[in-house]
Amino acid sequence: MSRRSDFPLLVANPGLHYLDSAATSQKPSVVLDALRNFYETANANPHRGAYALSVAATDAYDGARQKVAGFVGVADPDCLIFTRGTTESLNLIATSWGRTNLEAGDEIIVTALDHHANFVPWQQLAISVGATLRICEITSEGRLDLDCFAQFLSPKTKLVAVGHVSNALGTINPIKEIVAMVRERTDAVIVCDGAQGVPHLRVGFDELGVDFYAFSGHKMCGPMGIGGLIGKRELLEAMPPYQMGGDMVEFVYDDRTTWNVLPHKFEAGTPNAADAVGLAAAVGYLEGIGMDEVLRHERSLVAEASERLSQIEGITIYGPPAAERSGVVSFTLGDVHPHDLATILDGDGICIRAGNHCAQPLMRRLDVSATARASFYVYNEKSDIDALVEGVLKAKEIFGHAVV
């Protein structure tokens, strides 16, 4: 069964093989329709107007929050803050929680596997408060080295930041195991970057046990510019606001201000209601497929792509075995630079990512400057793999037999 027909961009470009969903996914028509429908039927400023249309906008926005909260498994929807996406969510925690709770001598653990968005905010926080940054190393298979992680845990550990799924390699991290290790030894707050988690896995925030979880709508069939931060209520309530302005206040006196309740305290200004509604439609779309099926579908494509690519002489595939990854195949072809590979594939309508994948610390550890990455999602099919394999063979031919 082909889901390509649900995606107008793919329908309009039959020869296009979109293999860059880890960067951003394509959008199904139900999401585009939801956006248009919001603006055509419910557009007003939520929370602010005493008229029916504003109430409709508010209801649409609140309804979107409930729907998305249900999908990511948080029973209390007020603990889901809408943000621009993962990057903003992580910066919110680093600024609001980090600057209030960390001081010189404290320790932060991050990982060498993570995206810059879950690395740089913590590195800079550590620099500014005088905390120590510990970087959990990876194994030769591209998994987190849990022995290394365990060695870093101490009463000084105040924050642990770990990705759910690596965007560069597709490694799925054992979050529950990590949470258990942290809880046993420290009182640290655990932040999980779920940018590659929510689109591919069934995520249950309440069971997962982390304190904060960040994700982006645009990687899960939703619009750009909307995402979420989920946090435990007691932490969110104790944190100062991140941005000041309308909606996030309760009483504004001449000399002080009190804050609105959750989630509004962290949603200053006019909210991105239309994109929240679009994200809720994306959730509906994914629920229609079922997250187990989403992962099964991706895994079967990743397994086949990995198998066929690995038969090509000169190919190196990075990361754990295909059966343990999400929808990513990260690879290099001999001395053919990934950018050259991407250009040659682009010539045949195959979109892959080439570069450091916003993970320079990881690239240094893999001892490469870049890799080529094909990433798969619900609309990809076997024909995309055929095109990819053919394109790689063509690149190999262009660069001559001496692929070393």
Ligand X SMILES: Cc1ncc(COP(=O)(O)O)c(C=O)c1O
DSSP three-state, residue 86: helix
> What is residue 77's DSSP assignment?
G
Task: Judge whether 192 counts as a catalytic residue.
Answer: no
Strands (E), 287-336: 315-318, 328-333
Q: Which does 195 bind (CB under 5 to 8 A by kind): ligand X, another protein, none?
A: ligand X
Q: Which is nearer to ligand X, 167 or 332 (CB)?
A: 167
Q: Which is nearer to ligand X, 212 or 399 (CB)?
A: 212
Q: Which is nearer to another protein, 81 or 112 (CB)?
A: 112
Helix 273-289 and helix 52-71: axis angle, to 10°?
40
In the complex, minimum distance from the CB of residue 213 to another protein, in angstroms, rounded to a whole number = 29
Sequence-ordered alpha helix ranges (H) in 72-210? 86-92, 99-101, 120-129, 146-152, 175-185, 205-208
In the complex, minimum distance from the CB of residue 36 to another protein, in angstroms, rounded to a whole number = 25
In the complex, minimum distance from the CB of residue 269 to ligand X, in angstroms, rounded to a whole number = 18
Active-site hit among 79, 136, 221, 358:
358
H helix and E strand count, the chain: 15, 15
Q: Which is nearer to another protein, 317 or 344 (CB)?
A: 344
Name which of 283, 281, 274, 224 is nearest 38 in CA terms. Answer: 274
In the complex, minimum distance from the CB of residue 400 to another protein, in angstroms, rounded to a whole number = 7
DSSP three-state, residue 11: helix
Q: Which is nearer to another protein, 59 or 313 (CB)?
A: 313
The CA-based angle 39-52-260, given to 5 degrees, is 90
Q: Which is nearer to ligand X, 226 or 395 (CB)?
A: 226
Q: Which does 70 bind (CB under 5 to 8 A by kind): ligand X, another protein, none?
A: none
Rg (CA), the chain: 22
The token pair that represents 119 in the structure block: 């690395």
Which region holds residue 163: left if phi is over 0, alpha if psi is between -120 and 50, else beta? beta
Which region holds residue 367: left if phi is over 0, alpha if psi is between -120 and 50, else beta? left
The footprint of ligand X (CB under 6 A) covers 85-87, 115, 117-118, 163, 167, 193, 195-196, 216, 358
The footprint of another protein (CB under 8 A) covers 13, 15-16, 335-340, 343-344, 346-349, 354-356, 360, 363, 369-370, 398-400, 402
Name which of 380, 375, 298, 383 is nearest 10 in CA terms. Answer: 380
Could you give the C-alpha distances from 72 to 21, 264, 275, in angstroms and in order? 20, 19, 17
In the complex, minimum distance from the CB of residue 399 to another protein, in angstroms, rounded to a whole number = 6
Q: Which does 348 bind (CB under 5 to 8 A by kind): ligand X, another protein, none?
A: another protein
* Contact in structure between 71 and 47 (CB atoms under 8 Å): no
In the complex, minimum distance from the CB of residue 394 to another protein, in angstroms, rounded to a whole number = 9
Q: Which does 13 bind (CB under 5 to 8 A by kind): another protein, ligand X, none?
A: another protein
The token pair that represents 345 in the structure block: 């594939």
Q: Which does 193 bind (CB under 5 to 8 A by kind): another protein, ligand X, none?
A: ligand X
Q: Which is nearer to another protein, 144 or 358 (CB)?
A: 358
Q: Which does 365 bind (CB under 5 to 8 A by kind): ligand X, another protein, none?
A: none
Positive or negative: CA dihedral 51, 56, 57, 61: positive
- Give phi and psi for 290, each to the nearest 5: 95, 130
Q: Which does 163 bind (CB under 5 to 8 A by kind): another protein, ligand X, none?
A: ligand X
Active site residues: 358
